[in-house]
């Protein structure tokens, strides 16, 4: 079975370019390795993504993963704590500098496959007691490949240490049931995407600074799915309550206005 990952030279240049995971070492040896999708996809999904030429709506596909990626933004203190956990767990891992102030960990895991792999990994990473970037655990997220040249510092993502051990097993959380909306709307796929995105944003909150963008994107999906602005506003309120530092109501209203093109 060949698994495929999306590749992009930078996050803003995504065009649904899919490459076999086995070809990644060639990119890592290049002058600037770029980025890969955190999760991997089947032959059929890769063909559909490639044909569409876009990285949108990855949530409709099952995700495969044999690596738990962890993004640490708080420097060496959290790296040392993670290094201790890896040693105690007898896990196999590679630790990298990100090219900036942070670090990345690539931890070998027993392969996972399903629609709820990102949420399962988000819950597992949150339980480590280390501040990690939760936005990584969403369908379609990207992570820098080893050898990637940081745009600002001009430093590469560089291997710090390889730790010998065994793949760890991450419990797969049971996926939420997929509801049938076909009798209510012709936009069933888009409505299902709204619910999936809301579930992902509740279980893996975006970073501060990215939350308004997430709310606005959800509002645009809601408009496309035929959800009324009032109903979508209530959805955003419920989502907002799950975040540690909720956005003020006026920003939710602004997201609705942007998403529904209201004046």
Say which CATH number the domain at 83 has.
3.30.70
The model's confidence at residue 189, banded by pLDDT at 50, 70 and 90, is: low
Angle made by CA atoms 54, 26, 83, in degrees to the nearest 5 = 90
Within 143-204, where are the H helices? 188-203
Indicate whether 112 and 22 sit together in one domain: yes
Please identify, among 95, 130, 163, the residue that sits at the C-terminal boundary of a domain: 163
pLDDT the model gives residue 177: 47
Indicate whether 155 and 222 sit together in one domain: no
Say what the pTM is: 0.70
pLDDT the model gives residue 168: 97
| Cα–Cα distance, 260 to 137 (Å, whole number) | 28
Mean pLDDT of 202-223: 79
**171 within some domain:** no
Indicate whether 15 and 61 sit together in one domain: yes
- Is the pLDDT reported for residue 185 higher than 50? no
pLDDT the model gives residue 193: 64
Mean pLDDT of 214-220: 85
Mean pLDDT of 173-182: 54
| Cα–Cα distance, 155 to 143 (Å, whole number) | 16
Indicate whether 151 and 193 sit together in one domain: no
Digit-coded pLDDT (tens) for 61-86: 999 999 999 999 887 889 999 999 99
Indicate whether 152 and 197 sit together in one domain: no
Least reliable range by pLDDT among 52-56, 125-129, 157-161, 184-188: 184-188
Helix 117-126 vs helix 188-203: angle between axes, to the nearest 10 degrees? Answer: 10
Q: SS3 of 248, please?
A: coil
The model's confidence at residue 223, banded by pLDDT at 50, 70 and 90, is: confident
- Specify the pairing of strand 103-114 against strand 93-97: antiparallel
| Cα–Cα distance, 206 to 214 (Å, whole number) | 8
**175 within some domain:** no
Indicate whether 118 and 234 sit together in one domain: no
**179 within some domain:** no
In which domain, by residue range, is 102 found?
4-163
183: phi > 0 → left, psi -120 to 50 → alpha, else beta; which? Answer: alpha
**178 within some domain:** no
- Per the structure, how many domains does the chain have? 2
Average pLDDT over the chain, rounded to an integer: 86
Mean pLDDT of 245-251: 88
């Amino acid at each position: 079975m060949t698994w495929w990952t999306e590749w992009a030279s930078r996050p803003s240049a995504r065009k649904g370019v899919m490459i076999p995971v086995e070809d990644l070492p060639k990119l890592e040896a290049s002058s600037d390795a770029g980025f890969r999708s955190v999760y991997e996809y089947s032959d059929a999904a890769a063909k559909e993504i490639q044909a569409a030429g876009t990285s949108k709506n990855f949530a409709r596909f099952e995700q495969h993963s044999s690596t738990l990626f962890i993004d640490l933004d708080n420097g060496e203190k959290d790296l040392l704590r993670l290094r201790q956990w890896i040693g105690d767990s007898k896990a196999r891992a590679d630790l990298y500098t990100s090219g900036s102030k942070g670090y990345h960990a690539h931890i070998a895991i027993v392969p996972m496959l399903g629609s709820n792999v990102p949420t399962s990994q988000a819950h597992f990473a949150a339980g480590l007691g280390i501040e990690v970037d939760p936005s990584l655990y969403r369908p379609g997220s990207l992570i820098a490949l080893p050898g990637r040249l940081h745009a600002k510092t001009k430093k590469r993502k560089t291997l710090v240490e390889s730790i010998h051990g065994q793949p760890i097993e991450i419990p797969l959380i049971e996926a939420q049931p997929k509801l049938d909306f076909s009798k209510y709307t012709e936009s069933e796929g888009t409505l299902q995407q709204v619910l999936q995105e809301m579930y992902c944003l509740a279980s893996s909150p975006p970073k501060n600074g990215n939350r308004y963008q997430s709310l606005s994107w959800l509002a645009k999906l809601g408009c496309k799915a035929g959800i009324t602005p009032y109903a979508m506003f209530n959805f955003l309120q419920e989502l907002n309550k799950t975040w540690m530092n909720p956005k003020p109501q006026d920003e939710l209203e602004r997201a609705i206005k942007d998403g529904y093109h209201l004046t």
